[in-house]
């Protein structure tokens, strides 16, 4: 028997559970990647760990929260229309 690999693509990360691409997940993903790569760059060249401004963390959290709220509203509307 062959072993099954559990592969996750980048597209799967930014998709909604029902398959639609999510702009807020994509935006948050890009912001997080930016902070990771810029932190690595600054750490390698200056030897210090940069601080991430609080308002940027709030932006990422609000993008995620907006995504969750919209998906919940969509689920509620879907459940109402199915009845």
CB of 81 within 8 A of CB of 41?
A: no
Looking from the CA of 81 toward its CB, the CA atoms found within 13 Å total: 6
pTM, to two decimals? 0.57
- Half-sphere exposure (CA, 13 Å, Cβ side) for 30? 6
Per-residue pLDDT reduced to its tens digit, 58-68? 887 887 787 77
pLDDT digits (tens, 9 = 90+) for 29-45: 888 888 889 989 999 99
Indicate the length of the chain as a whole number. Answer: 83
């Amino acid at each position: 028997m062959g072993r099954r690999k559990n592969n996750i693509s980048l597209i799967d990360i930014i998709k909604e559970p029902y398959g639609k691409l999510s702009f807020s997940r994509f935006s948050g993903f890009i912001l997080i990647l930016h902070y990771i790569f810029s932190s690595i760059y600054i750490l390698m060249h200056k030897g210090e760990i940069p601080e991430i401004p609080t308002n940027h963390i709030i932006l990422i959290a609000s993008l995620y929260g907006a995504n969750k709220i919209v998906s919940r509203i969509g689920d509620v509307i879907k459940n109402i229309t199915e009845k």
